[in-house]
Structure 1
Amino acid sequence: MREINMISIDQIRFYIPYVANTFRIEDVDELRLANKIFALSDYFEIKAESKGQNGYSKSYNFGSNEKKYVSVMWNPDRKDMGISIDFTAVGKAVYEALVADYTGLKVDWQNLIKQVYLEYQGHVSRIDIATDLIDYNFSADSIAKRIMNQELIFLNKQGNRIPSVRLKFISNAEKVETIYVGARTSDCFLRIYDKKIEQDRPDGRYRSMSKGCHDWVRLEGEFKGKTAHKIGELVAKLNKQDIYSDLLGIVLERWSLVEYKKD
Protein backbone atom coordinates (compact mmCIF):
# COMPACT_ATOMS: atom_id res chain seq x y z
CA MET A 1 0.00 0.00 0.00
CA ARG A 2 1.07 3.58 -0.64
CA GLU A 3 2.37 5.50 2.35
CA ILE A 4 0.33 8.61 3.17
CA ASN A 5 1.15 11.42 5.59
CA MET A 6 -1.20 14.26 6.43
CA ILE A 7 -0.53 17.32 8.60
CA SER A 8 -3.41 19.27 10.08
CA ILE A 9 -4.59 21.49 12.90
CA ASP A 10 -6.67 19.16 15.04
CA GLN A 11 -8.03 21.56 17.64
CA ILE A 12 -7.70 25.31 18.14
CA ARG A 13 -8.74 27.95 20.66
CA PHE A 14 -8.60 31.72 20.23
CA TYR A 15 -8.43 34.57 22.74
CA ILE A 16 -9.87 37.96 21.78
CA PRO A 17 -9.27 40.91 24.17
CA TYR A 18 -12.04 43.40 24.85
CA VAL A 19 -9.69 46.30 24.20
CA ALA A 20 -8.56 46.44 20.58
CA ASN A 21 -7.92 49.02 17.90
CA THR A 22 -11.04 48.01 15.98
CA PHE A 23 -13.70 48.43 18.69
CA ARG A 24 -14.44 49.93 22.09
CA ILE A 25 -15.07 47.73 25.11
CA GLU A 26 -18.60 49.04 25.69
CA ASP A 27 -19.58 48.22 22.09
CA VAL A 28 -18.66 44.53 22.21
CA ASP A 29 -21.31 41.88 21.62
CA GLU A 30 -19.43 38.62 22.16
CA LEU A 31 -21.51 36.45 19.85
CA ARG A 32 -21.63 39.08 17.12
CA LEU A 33 -17.85 39.43 17.30
CA ALA A 34 -17.34 35.67 16.96
CA ASN A 35 -19.74 35.62 14.01
CA LYS A 36 -17.90 38.50 12.38
CA ILE A 37 -14.70 36.46 12.30
CA PHE A 38 -15.98 32.89 11.86
CA ALA A 39 -19.63 33.32 10.69
CA LEU A 40 -20.64 30.51 13.05
CA SER A 41 -24.37 31.29 12.96
CA ASP A 42 -24.33 31.00 9.17
CA TYR A 43 -23.38 27.33 9.32
CA PHE A 44 -24.58 25.81 12.60
CA GLU A 45 -28.32 25.34 13.07
CA ILE A 46 -28.27 24.19 16.69
CA LYS A 47 -27.10 26.74 19.25
CA ALA A 48 -27.47 26.67 23.04
CA GLU A 49 -26.61 28.99 25.91
CA SER A 50 -25.02 27.55 29.03
CA LYS A 51 -22.56 28.26 31.80
CA GLY A 52 -18.97 28.63 30.73
CA GLN A 53 -15.88 26.91 32.11
CA ASN A 54 -12.31 27.75 33.15
CA GLY A 55 -13.47 30.95 34.83
CA TYR A 56 -15.85 32.02 32.07
CA SER A 57 -19.41 32.39 33.39
CA LYS A 58 -21.21 32.65 30.04
CA SER A 59 -21.07 30.37 27.02
CA TYR A 60 -22.77 30.11 23.67
CA ASN A 61 -22.34 26.65 22.19
CA PHE A 62 -22.68 25.67 18.55
CA GLY A 63 -23.83 22.07 18.38
CA SER A 64 -25.69 21.38 21.64
CA ASN A 65 -25.05 21.19 25.36
CA GLU A 66 -24.22 17.50 24.87
CA LYS A 67 -21.96 18.08 21.87
CA LYS A 68 -20.19 21.41 22.13
CA TYR A 69 -18.50 21.66 18.75
CA VAL A 70 -17.61 25.34 19.07
CA SER A 71 -17.94 27.46 22.21
CA VAL A 72 -17.86 31.24 22.60
CA MET A 73 -17.14 32.01 26.27
CA TRP A 74 -16.84 35.19 28.31
CA ASN A 75 -17.26 36.60 31.83
CA PRO A 76 -19.03 39.98 32.04
CA ASP A 77 -17.42 40.58 35.44
CA ARG A 78 -13.90 39.75 34.24
CA LYS A 79 -13.24 41.70 31.07
CA ASP A 80 -9.52 41.04 31.56
CA MET A 81 -10.18 37.39 30.62
CA GLY A 82 -11.30 38.44 27.15
CA ILE A 83 -13.40 36.25 24.89
CA SER A 84 -12.54 32.59 24.28
CA ILE A 85 -13.56 30.91 21.01
CA ASP A 86 -12.89 27.19 21.25
CA PHE A 87 -13.05 24.69 18.37
CA THR A 88 -12.93 21.09 19.61
CA ALA A 89 -11.32 18.54 17.30
CA VAL A 90 -14.72 17.27 16.14
CA GLY A 91 -16.10 20.82 16.10
CA LYS A 92 -13.35 22.03 13.80
CA ALA A 93 -13.98 19.13 11.41
CA VAL A 94 -17.74 19.78 11.46
CA TYR A 95 -17.17 23.51 10.87
CA GLU A 96 -14.92 22.76 7.88
CA ALA A 97 -17.50 20.35 6.43
CA LEU A 98 -20.34 22.86 6.85
CA VAL A 99 -18.34 25.68 5.24
CA ALA A 100 -17.52 23.38 2.31
CA ASP A 101 -21.17 22.32 1.95
CA TYR A 102 -22.49 25.90 2.03
CA THR A 103 -19.78 27.68 0.04
CA GLY A 104 -17.74 25.02 -1.77
CA LEU A 105 -14.61 26.51 -0.17
CA LYS A 106 -12.01 25.24 2.27
CA VAL A 107 -11.56 27.08 5.56
CA ASP A 108 -8.43 29.22 5.37
CA TRP A 109 -7.06 28.84 8.89
CA GLN A 110 -3.99 30.91 8.19
CA ASN A 111 -6.15 33.84 7.14
CA LEU A 112 -8.39 33.46 10.23
CA ILE A 113 -5.37 33.32 12.54
CA LYS A 114 -3.88 36.36 10.81
CA GLN A 115 -7.19 38.21 11.21
CA VAL A 116 -7.33 37.45 14.94
CA TYR A 117 -3.77 38.71 15.47
CA LEU A 118 -3.72 41.75 13.20
CA GLU A 119 -7.30 43.05 13.33
CA TYR A 120 -8.33 42.10 16.85
CA GLN A 121 -4.99 41.97 18.71
CA GLY A 122 -5.92 38.49 19.85
CA HIS A 123 -3.96 35.27 19.82
CA VAL A 124 -4.13 31.49 19.71
CA SER A 125 -4.36 30.08 23.25
CA ARG A 126 -4.29 26.42 22.24
CA ILE A 127 -3.37 24.60 19.05
CA ASP A 128 -3.05 20.85 18.46
CA ILE A 129 -0.91 19.90 15.46
CA ALA A 130 -1.54 16.41 14.11
CA THR A 131 0.51 14.27 11.74
CA ASP A 132 -1.20 11.16 10.40
CA LEU A 133 1.07 8.40 9.14
CA ILE A 134 -0.90 5.83 7.15
CA ASP A 135 0.47 2.47 5.95
CA TYR A 136 3.99 3.13 7.19
CA ASN A 137 4.03 -0.41 8.61
CA PHE A 138 4.47 0.52 12.27
CA SER A 139 2.30 1.06 15.31
CA ALA A 140 2.39 2.76 18.71
CA ASP A 141 3.24 -0.66 20.13
CA SER A 142 6.22 -1.22 17.79
CA ILE A 143 7.52 2.29 18.56
CA ALA A 144 7.09 1.71 22.31
CA LYS A 145 8.98 -1.60 22.17
CA ARG A 146 11.94 0.05 20.44
CA ILE A 147 11.93 2.82 23.06
CA MET A 148 11.82 0.28 25.90
CA ASN A 149 14.70 -1.63 24.25
CA GLN A 150 16.62 1.67 24.05
CA GLU A 151 16.74 1.51 20.27
CA LEU A 152 14.87 4.81 19.96
CA ILE A 153 15.02 7.92 22.16
CA PHE A 154 13.29 11.30 22.21
CA LEU A 155 15.35 14.48 22.01
CA ASN A 156 14.02 17.84 23.18
CA LYS A 157 14.37 21.23 21.53
CA GLN A 158 17.89 21.62 22.91
CA GLY A 159 18.96 18.23 21.55
CA ASN A 160 19.03 16.60 24.98
CA ARG A 161 17.54 13.19 25.68
CA ILE A 162 14.07 13.28 27.24
CA PRO A 163 14.25 11.03 30.34
CA SER A 164 12.09 7.92 30.50
CA VAL A 165 10.17 9.31 33.51
CA ARG A 166 8.67 11.85 31.10
CA LEU A 167 7.22 9.02 28.96
CA LYS A 168 4.03 7.10 29.67
CA PHE A 169 2.74 4.03 27.86
CA ILE A 170 -0.95 3.13 27.82
CA SER A 171 -1.62 -0.53 27.07
CA ASN A 172 -4.63 -2.66 26.21
CA ALA A 173 -4.34 -6.47 26.15
CA GLU A 174 -0.55 -6.17 26.53
CA LYS A 175 -0.22 -3.96 23.45
CA VAL A 176 0.73 -0.30 23.76
CA GLU A 177 -1.86 1.85 22.02
CA THR A 178 -0.77 5.31 23.22
CA ILE A 179 2.52 6.99 24.14
CA TYR A 180 2.55 10.25 26.11
CA VAL A 181 5.60 12.52 26.21
CA GLY A 182 5.55 15.23 28.88
CA ALA A 183 2.77 16.32 31.22
CA ARG A 184 -0.72 17.16 29.97
CA THR A 185 -0.78 20.15 32.35
CA SER A 186 2.27 21.69 30.65
CA ASP A 187 2.29 24.04 27.66
CA CYS A 188 3.74 21.32 25.39
CA PHE A 189 2.53 17.74 25.30
CA LEU A 190 2.92 14.95 22.73
CA ARG A 191 0.63 11.99 22.14
CA ILE A 192 1.38 9.13 19.74
CA TYR A 193 -1.46 6.68 19.27
CA ASP A 194 -3.09 4.17 16.95
CA LYS A 195 -5.66 6.22 15.10
CA LYS A 196 -6.88 3.13 13.26
CA ILE A 197 -8.07 1.54 16.52
CA GLU A 198 -10.01 4.71 17.35
CA GLN A 199 -11.54 5.06 13.89
CA ASP A 200 -12.43 1.36 13.49
CA ARG A 201 -15.08 1.80 16.17
CA PRO A 202 -18.73 1.99 15.01
CA ASP A 203 -18.84 5.74 15.76
CA GLY A 204 -15.52 6.51 14.05
CA ARG A 205 -15.84 9.65 11.95
CA TYR A 206 -13.34 8.34 9.38
CA ARG A 207 -14.23 4.66 9.66
CA SER A 208 -14.36 4.02 5.91
CA MET A 209 -10.88 5.52 5.51
CA SER A 210 -9.62 3.44 8.42
CA LYS A 211 -11.04 0.23 6.96
CA GLY A 212 -9.09 0.90 3.76
CA CYS A 213 -5.65 1.01 5.38
CA HIS A 214 -3.42 -1.47 7.18
CA ASP A 215 -2.10 0.84 9.89
CA TRP A 216 -2.63 4.44 10.93
CA VAL A 217 -0.54 6.19 13.60
CA ARG A 218 -1.13 9.77 14.71
CA LEU A 219 1.44 12.10 16.29
CA GLU A 220 -0.34 14.96 18.03
CA GLY A 221 1.45 17.91 19.58
CA GLU A 222 -0.67 19.91 22.02
CA PHE A 223 0.48 23.49 22.61
CA LYS A 224 -1.05 25.94 25.08
CA GLY A 225 -0.30 29.28 26.74
CA LYS A 226 2.67 31.32 25.56
CA THR A 227 3.87 28.55 23.24
CA ALA A 228 0.52 28.48 21.40
CA HIS A 229 0.60 32.29 21.26
CA LYS A 230 4.01 32.22 19.55
CA ILE A 231 2.95 29.51 17.09
CA GLY A 232 -0.10 31.57 16.09
CA GLU A 233 2.10 34.64 15.68
CA LEU A 234 4.44 32.66 13.41
CA VAL A 235 1.52 31.46 11.27
CA ALA A 236 0.13 35.00 11.04
CA LYS A 237 3.46 36.25 9.69
CA LEU A 238 3.97 33.51 7.09
CA ASN A 239 3.74 34.80 3.52
CA LYS A 240 2.75 31.51 1.92
CA GLN A 241 -0.30 29.32 1.65
CA ASP A 242 1.24 26.03 2.81
CA ILE A 243 1.60 26.52 6.55
CA TYR A 244 1.54 22.82 7.38
CA SER A 245 5.17 22.01 6.69
CA ASP A 246 6.07 24.78 9.16
CA LEU A 247 3.64 23.34 11.72
CA LEU A 248 5.24 19.91 11.34
CA GLY A 249 8.63 21.53 11.82
CA ILE A 250 7.45 22.96 15.15
CA VAL A 251 6.49 19.48 16.38
CA LEU A 252 9.72 17.86 15.17
CA GLU A 253 11.81 20.63 16.71
CA ARG A 254 10.17 20.06 20.08
CA TRP A 255 10.24 16.23 19.99
CA SER A 256 12.67 14.30 17.79
CA LEU A 257 12.45 10.51 17.81
CA VAL A 258 15.86 9.20 16.76
CA GLU A 259 17.83 5.97 16.81
CA TYR A 260 19.94 5.62 19.92
CA LYS A 261 23.61 5.23 19.12
CA LYS A 262 25.37 3.55 21.99
CA ASP A 263 29.01 4.41 22.59
Structure 2
Amino acid sequence: MTRQIFVKVDQCTVNFPVDDKPFETVKKIVRDLRLEDILGDDSKVKPLNHYDEAIGFYNGQIKIMWSSKSTSQGVMLYFTSTGLRAWQDIGRLQNIRMDWPKFIAYLSDKSAHFTRLDVAVDVLDYPFGVENLFKNLQEQKVLILDAIGRIRKSDSQKFFGENQRITGFTVGSRSSNCFLRVYNKKVEQSRDNAPYIDLARTCKTWTRFEGEFKHDKAKAIIPDLVKNKIDNKIFSQKLVGYLVNQWSFVDHSKELISIWQDLKDNAKGAEKIPPLEPKLNNRLISLLKWFLTGGAGGVFYRISQLFGEVGRNDFLEFMF
Protein backbone atom coordinates (compact mmCIF):
# COMPACT_ATOMS: atom_id res chain seq x y z
CA MET A 1 0.00 0.00 0.00
CA THR A 2 1.02 3.63 -0.51
CA ARG A 3 1.24 6.07 2.37
CA GLN A 4 -2.16 7.40 3.40
CA ILE A 5 -3.51 9.95 5.87
CA PHE A 6 -7.11 9.96 7.11
CA VAL A 7 -8.69 12.48 9.47
CA LYS A 8 -12.02 12.49 11.30
CA VAL A 9 -13.82 13.52 14.48
CA ASP A 10 -13.67 10.47 16.74
CA GLN A 11 -16.20 11.51 19.39
CA CYS A 12 -17.69 14.70 20.71
CA THR A 13 -20.03 16.24 23.25
CA VAL A 14 -22.08 19.39 22.68
CA ASN A 15 -23.79 21.64 25.21
CA PHE A 16 -27.04 23.40 24.26
CA PRO A 17 -28.37 26.32 26.34
CA VAL A 18 -31.82 25.96 27.90
CA ASP A 19 -34.23 28.90 28.28
CA ASP A 20 -37.01 27.29 30.25
CA LYS A 21 -37.86 23.58 30.00
CA PRO A 22 -34.94 21.22 29.30
CA PHE A 23 -37.09 18.49 27.76
CA GLU A 24 -38.45 20.92 25.17
CA THR A 25 -34.85 21.53 24.10
CA VAL A 26 -34.28 17.75 23.98
CA LYS A 27 -37.28 17.27 21.68
CA LYS A 28 -36.06 20.03 19.36
CA ILE A 29 -32.59 18.41 19.11
CA VAL A 30 -34.14 15.02 18.28
CA ARG A 31 -36.34 16.60 15.62
CA ASP A 32 -33.70 18.89 14.09
CA LEU A 33 -31.03 16.16 13.84
CA ARG A 34 -33.57 13.60 12.54
CA LEU A 35 -32.40 11.09 15.14
CA GLU A 36 -35.63 9.07 15.21
CA ASP A 37 -35.91 9.13 11.40
CA ILE A 38 -32.38 7.78 11.04
CA LEU A 39 -31.93 5.52 14.08
CA GLY A 40 -35.43 4.66 15.30
CA ASP A 41 -37.09 5.23 18.66
CA ASP A 42 -35.15 6.45 21.67
CA SER A 43 -34.74 4.49 24.90
CA LYS A 44 -34.07 5.52 28.49
CA VAL A 45 -30.34 5.27 29.26
CA LYS A 46 -28.01 6.04 32.14
CA PRO A 47 -26.90 9.69 32.19
CA LEU A 48 -23.26 10.77 32.54
CA ASN A 49 -21.57 13.40 34.68
CA HIS A 50 -24.00 15.39 36.85
CA TYR A 51 -27.13 14.90 34.76
CA ASP A 52 -30.05 12.90 36.12
CA GLU A 53 -32.10 12.26 32.95
CA ALA A 54 -31.11 10.85 29.56
CA ILE A 55 -32.45 9.24 26.40
CA GLY A 56 -30.32 7.29 23.97
CA PHE A 57 -30.17 6.05 20.39
CA TYR A 58 -28.26 3.23 18.73
CA ASN A 59 -27.75 1.20 21.91
CA GLY A 60 -26.72 4.25 23.90
CA GLN A 61 -23.96 5.27 21.48
CA ILE A 62 -25.76 8.61 21.26
CA LYS A 63 -27.12 10.20 24.44
CA ILE A 64 -29.03 13.37 25.16
CA MET A 65 -28.79 14.33 28.84
CA TRP A 66 -30.33 16.99 31.03
CA SER A 67 -31.02 17.91 34.64
CA SER A 68 -34.60 17.79 35.88
CA LYS A 69 -33.72 20.23 38.69
CA SER A 70 -31.78 22.96 36.92
CA THR A 71 -31.46 24.62 33.52
CA SER A 72 -27.97 26.01 34.20
CA GLN A 73 -26.25 22.80 33.04
CA GLY A 74 -27.94 22.99 29.66
CA VAL A 75 -28.66 19.92 27.55
CA MET A 76 -25.73 17.67 26.62
CA LEU A 77 -25.54 15.79 23.31
CA TYR A 78 -23.00 12.96 23.47
CA PHE A 79 -21.70 11.00 20.47
CA THR A 80 -19.34 8.06 20.76
CA SER A 81 -17.23 7.37 17.69
CA THR A 82 -19.59 4.54 16.75
CA GLY A 83 -22.71 6.63 17.32
CA LEU A 84 -21.40 9.54 15.28
CA ARG A 85 -20.49 7.28 12.37
CA ALA A 86 -23.88 5.49 12.50
CA TRP A 87 -25.85 8.76 12.53
CA GLN A 88 -23.99 10.17 9.54
CA ASP A 89 -23.63 6.95 7.49
CA ILE A 90 -27.15 5.58 8.01
CA GLY A 91 -28.55 9.05 7.41
CA ARG A 92 -26.65 9.25 4.14
CA LEU A 93 -28.16 5.93 3.03
CA GLN A 94 -31.60 7.43 3.70
CA ASN A 95 -30.68 10.59 1.80
CA ILE A 96 -30.64 12.56 5.08
CA ARG A 97 -27.37 14.43 5.01
CA MET A 98 -25.84 16.14 8.01
CA ASP A 99 -22.24 16.75 7.00
CA TRP A 100 -19.90 18.68 9.27
CA PRO A 101 -20.34 22.17 7.74
CA LYS A 102 -24.13 21.83 8.05
CA PHE A 103 -23.87 20.45 11.59
CA ILE A 104 -21.51 23.25 12.68
CA ALA A 105 -23.86 25.89 11.22
CA TYR A 106 -26.76 24.32 13.13
CA LEU A 107 -24.83 24.31 16.42
CA SER A 108 -23.77 27.92 15.93
CA ASP A 109 -27.37 28.95 15.22
CA LYS A 110 -28.45 27.30 18.50
CA SER A 111 -25.62 28.99 20.47
CA ALA A 112 -24.29 25.53 21.33
CA HIS A 113 -20.63 24.73 21.98
CA PHE A 114 -18.42 21.67 22.12
CA THR A 115 -17.35 20.57 25.58
CA ARG A 116 -15.15 17.89 24.06
CA LEU A 117 -13.98 17.09 20.55
CA ASP A 118 -11.52 14.34 19.66
CA VAL A 119 -9.54 14.72 16.42
CA ALA A 120 -8.23 11.42 15.03
CA VAL A 121 -5.52 11.36 12.36
CA ASP A 122 -4.63 7.91 11.00
CA VAL A 123 -1.29 7.44 9.28
CA LEU A 124 -0.90 4.25 7.22
CA ASP A 125 2.23 2.65 5.79
CA TYR A 126 4.70 5.27 6.89
CA PRO A 127 8.19 3.82 7.55
CA PHE A 128 7.85 3.92 11.31
CA GLY A 129 5.49 2.66 13.97
CA VAL A 130 4.66 3.34 17.59
CA GLU A 131 7.51 1.13 18.83
CA ASN A 132 10.02 3.00 16.70
CA LEU A 133 8.62 6.35 17.84
CA PHE A 134 8.82 5.19 21.47
CA LYS A 135 12.46 4.16 21.02
CA ASN A 136 13.37 7.55 19.53
CA LEU A 137 11.56 9.40 22.32
CA GLN A 138 13.40 7.35 24.95
CA GLU A 139 16.75 8.12 23.28
CA GLN A 140 15.71 11.79 22.85
CA LYS A 141 16.21 11.58 19.11
CA VAL A 142 12.62 12.80 18.88
CA LEU A 143 11.14 15.48 21.16
CA ILE A 144 7.55 16.61 21.66
CA LEU A 145 6.88 20.36 21.82
CA ASP A 146 3.73 22.08 23.03
CA ALA A 147 1.88 24.85 21.20
CA ILE A 148 4.39 27.55 22.23
CA GLY A 149 7.49 25.47 21.52
CA ARG A 150 8.33 24.17 24.99
CA ILE A 151 9.68 20.63 25.28
CA ARG A 152 7.20 18.28 26.94
CA LYS A 153 9.10 16.51 29.69
CA SER A 154 9.26 12.73 29.76
CA ASP A 155 7.17 12.59 32.94
CA SER A 156 4.22 13.95 30.94
CA GLN A 157 4.37 10.88 28.69
CA LYS A 158 2.71 7.63 29.80
CA PHE A 159 3.35 4.47 27.80
CA PHE A 160 1.13 1.40 27.58
CA GLY A 161 1.24 -1.94 25.81
CA GLU A 162 0.27 -5.58 25.70
CA ASN A 163 2.13 -8.87 25.37
CA GLN A 164 5.36 -7.10 26.39
CA ARG A 165 5.11 -4.70 23.42
CA ILE A 166 4.63 -0.94 23.46
CA THR A 167 1.35 -0.21 21.68
CA GLY A 168 0.91 3.48 22.52
CA PHE A 169 1.54 6.46 24.76
CA THR A 170 -0.20 9.61 25.98
CA VAL A 171 1.03 13.16 26.43
CA GLY A 172 -0.39 15.42 29.13
CA SER A 173 -3.18 15.06 31.65
CA ARG A 174 -6.68 13.75 30.94
CA SER A 175 -8.13 16.65 32.92
CA SER A 176 -6.35 19.33 30.88
CA ASN A 177 -7.64 21.27 27.87
CA CYS A 178 -5.49 19.21 25.49
CA PHE A 179 -4.56 15.54 25.75
CA LEU A 180 -2.74 13.48 23.10
CA ARG A 181 -2.95 9.74 22.49
CA VAL A 182 -0.66 7.97 20.03
CA TYR A 183 -1.24 4.28 19.52
CA ASN A 184 -0.91 1.31 17.21
CA LYS A 185 -4.25 1.15 15.40
CA LYS A 186 -3.15 -1.91 13.46
CA VAL A 187 -2.95 -3.95 16.68
CA GLU A 188 -6.39 -2.72 17.79
CA GLN A 189 -8.04 -3.46 14.45
CA SER A 190 -6.36 -6.88 14.02
CA ARG A 191 -8.54 -8.36 16.75
CA ASP A 192 -11.39 -10.71 15.84
CA ASN A 193 -14.58 -8.88 14.82
CA ALA A 194 -12.81 -5.50 14.55
CA PRO A 195 -14.60 -3.39 11.91
CA TYR A 196 -11.44 -2.68 9.88
CA ILE A 197 -9.66 -6.02 10.23
CA ASP A 198 -9.12 -6.36 6.45
CA LEU A 199 -7.39 -2.97 6.29
CA ALA A 200 -5.30 -3.83 9.35
CA ARG A 201 -4.10 -7.04 7.69
CA THR A 202 -3.07 -5.36 4.45
CA CYS A 203 -1.19 -2.33 5.81
CA LYS A 204 2.33 -2.56 7.24
CA THR A 205 1.90 0.18 9.87
CA TRP A 206 -1.14 2.07 11.12
CA THR A 207 -0.56 4.77 13.71
CA ARG A 208 -3.25 6.97 15.19
CA PHE A 209 -2.59 10.45 16.56
CA GLU A 210 -5.64 11.48 18.57
CA GLY A 211 -6.02 14.92 20.15
CA GLU A 212 -8.64 15.31 22.86
CA PHE A 213 -9.74 18.93 23.20
CA LYS A 214 -11.91 19.94 26.17
CA HIS A 215 -13.04 22.95 28.23
CA ASP A 216 -12.09 26.34 26.70
CA LYS A 217 -10.24 24.70 23.80
CA ALA A 218 -13.36 22.80 22.76
CA LYS A 219 -15.57 25.84 23.36
CA ALA A 220 -13.51 27.95 20.93
CA ILE A 221 -13.85 25.50 18.00
CA ILE A 222 -17.31 26.37 16.65
CA PRO A 223 -16.65 30.17 16.47
CA ASP A 224 -13.36 29.44 14.69
CA LEU A 225 -14.99 27.13 12.14
CA VAL A 226 -17.87 29.54 11.48
CA LYS A 227 -15.41 32.42 11.05
CA ASN A 228 -13.49 30.43 8.43
CA LYS A 229 -16.62 29.52 6.40
CA ILE A 230 -15.72 25.85 6.14
CA ASP A 231 -16.63 23.27 3.55
CA ASN A 232 -15.83 19.57 3.99
CA LYS A 233 -12.29 19.95 2.64
CA ILE A 234 -11.46 22.97 4.81
CA PHE A 235 -13.02 21.21 7.82
CA SER A 236 -10.57 18.30 7.46
CA GLN A 237 -7.67 20.70 7.08
CA LYS A 238 -8.76 22.59 10.20
CA LEU A 239 -8.87 19.36 12.21
CA VAL A 240 -5.33 18.46 11.18
CA GLY A 241 -4.22 22.02 11.94
CA TYR A 242 -5.69 21.81 15.44
CA LEU A 243 -3.65 18.67 16.10
CA VAL A 244 -0.28 19.48 14.53
CA ASN A 245 -0.12 23.01 15.92
CA GLN A 246 -0.93 21.94 19.47
CA TRP A 247 1.89 19.38 19.53
CA SER A 248 5.01 19.06 17.39
CA PHE A 249 7.28 16.04 16.95
CA VAL A 250 10.80 17.28 16.22
CA ASP A 251 14.35 15.99 16.06
CA HIS A 252 17.18 17.18 18.35
CA SER A 253 17.62 20.26 16.10
CA LYS A 254 13.93 21.06 16.63
CA GLU A 255 13.17 20.38 12.97
CA LEU A 256 9.86 18.61 12.32
CA ILE A 257 10.20 14.88 11.75
CA SER A 258 9.00 13.73 8.32
CA ILE A 259 5.54 12.52 9.34
CA TRP A 260 4.78 15.75 11.21
CA GLN A 261 5.93 17.80 8.23
CA ASP A 262 3.62 15.77 5.99
CA LEU A 263 0.73 16.40 8.38
CA LYS A 264 1.56 20.13 8.45
CA ASP A 265 1.47 20.12 4.64
CA ASN A 266 -1.86 18.27 4.79
CA ALA A 267 -3.29 21.05 6.99
CA LYS A 268 -2.66 23.59 4.19
CA GLY A 269 -1.79 26.38 6.59
CA ALA A 270 -4.67 25.76 9.02
CA GLU A 271 -3.67 26.95 12.48
CA LYS A 272 -4.21 25.87 16.08
CA ILE A 273 -7.41 26.45 18.02
CA PRO A 274 -7.50 30.19 18.81
CA PRO A 275 -7.96 31.48 22.37
CA LEU A 276 -11.55 31.73 23.49
CA GLU A 277 -12.68 35.34 23.25
CA PRO A 278 -13.34 36.70 26.77
CA LYS A 279 -16.85 37.77 27.67
CA LEU A 280 -17.91 40.19 30.39
CA ASN A 281 -19.62 37.80 32.77
CA ASN A 282 -20.50 38.74 36.35
CA ARG A 283 -17.29 37.27 37.77
CA LEU A 284 -15.06 39.19 35.36
CA ILE A 285 -16.95 42.42 36.07
CA SER A 286 -16.49 41.96 39.83
CA LEU A 287 -12.75 41.28 39.35
CA LEU A 288 -12.36 44.42 37.23
CA LYS A 289 -14.25 46.43 39.84
CA TRP A 290 -11.97 45.09 42.58
CA PHE A 291 -8.85 45.88 40.52
CA LEU A 292 -9.94 49.46 39.85
CA THR A 293 -11.32 50.35 43.30
CA GLY A 294 -9.73 48.17 45.96
CA GLY A 295 -7.01 46.17 44.26
CA ALA A 296 -3.84 46.85 42.29
CA GLY A 297 -5.40 49.72 40.36
CA GLY A 298 -5.59 51.74 43.57
CA VAL A 299 -1.89 51.04 44.28
CA PHE A 300 -0.87 52.28 40.83
CA TYR A 301 -2.98 55.42 41.30
CA ARG A 302 -1.44 56.16 44.72
CA ILE A 303 2.14 55.75 43.41
CA SER A 304 1.32 58.05 40.51
CA GLN A 305 -0.04 60.66 42.94
CA LEU A 306 3.01 60.45 45.22
CA PHE A 307 5.84 60.09 42.71
CA GLY A 308 4.43 61.36 39.45
CA GLU A 309 4.42 59.75 36.01
CA VAL A 310 8.15 58.94 36.09
CA GLY A 311 7.80 57.17 39.43
CA ARG A 312 4.76 55.24 38.21
CA ASN A 313 6.59 54.13 35.06
CA ASP A 314 9.63 53.06 37.10
CA PHE A 315 7.36 51.05 39.38
CA LEU A 316 5.62 49.32 36.47
CA GLU A 317 8.97 48.52 34.84
CA PHE A 318 10.18 47.05 38.12
CA MET A 319 7.00 44.93 38.49
CA PHE A 320 6.72 43.66 34.93
Question: Do both proteins adopt the same fold according to a TM-score greater than 0.5, normalized to the shorter chain?
Answer: yes
| Alignment partner, residue 54 of structure 2 | 59
- Kept in 2: contact 1:37–1:112 (CA 8 A): no
Within 1, Cα distance between the matches of 2:185 and 2:249? Answer: 19
Instruction: Give 5+ residue unaligned stretches, structure 2.
Output: 255-320
Which structure is higher in helix share?
2
After the TM superposition, which residues 137-156 of structure 1 pair with which residues of structure 2 at under 5 Å, given as runs? 137-156=127-146
Within 1, Cα distance between the matches of 2:244 and 2:182? Answer: 13
Within 1, Cα distance between the matches of 2:30 and 2:21? Answer: 18
Q: Would you identify which runs of 4 or more consecutive aligned residues in structure 1 move more than 4 Å?
A: none
Query: Are 1:40 and 2:35 matched, yes or no?
Result: yes
Query: Are 1:177 and 2:167 matched, yes or no?
Result: yes
Tell me: CA distance 1:104–1:202, structure 2 relative to 1, closer, same or farther (3 Å).
farther
Query: Are 1:110 and 2:98 matched, yes or no?
Result: no
Larger Rg: 2
Deviations 1:1-44 (A, max 9, x none): 2100011111111100013xxxxx24851432212331111111
- Cα displacement (A) at 1:171: 2.3
Aligned residues: 252
Which structure is higher in strand share?
1
Q: Given residue 63 of structure 1, which amino acid in structure 2 is its aligned partner?
A: Y
Identity %: 26
SS of residue matched to 1:78:
coil
Farther off after superposition, 141-150 or 25-34: 25-34
Instruction: Give 5+ residue unaligned stretches, structure 1.
Output: 20-24
Between 1 and 2, higher relative CO (CA 8 Å, sep ≥ 6) is seen in 1
Q: Pick one of 82, 92, 101 that aligns with 2:84.
A: 92
- Kept in 2: contact 1:113–1:124 (CA 8 A): no
| Alignment partner, residue 249 of structure 2 | 257
| Alignment partner, residue 45 of structure 2 | 50
TM-score by length of 1: 0.91
Q: Given residue 16 of structure 2, which amino acid in structure 1 is its aligned partner?
A: I
Within 1, Cα distance between the matches of 2:77 and 2:152? Answer: 33
Q: Pick one of 216, 220, 223 that aligns with 1:230.
A: 220
- Kept in 2: contact 1:59–1:74 (CA 8 A): yes
| Alignment partner, residue 248 of structure 1 | 240
Within 2, Cα distance between the matches of 1:83 and 1:238? Answer: 27
Across the aligned residues of Structure 1 and Structure 2, the Cα RMSD in angstroms comes to 1.7
Within 1, Cα distance between the matches of 2:61 and 2:217? Answer: 24
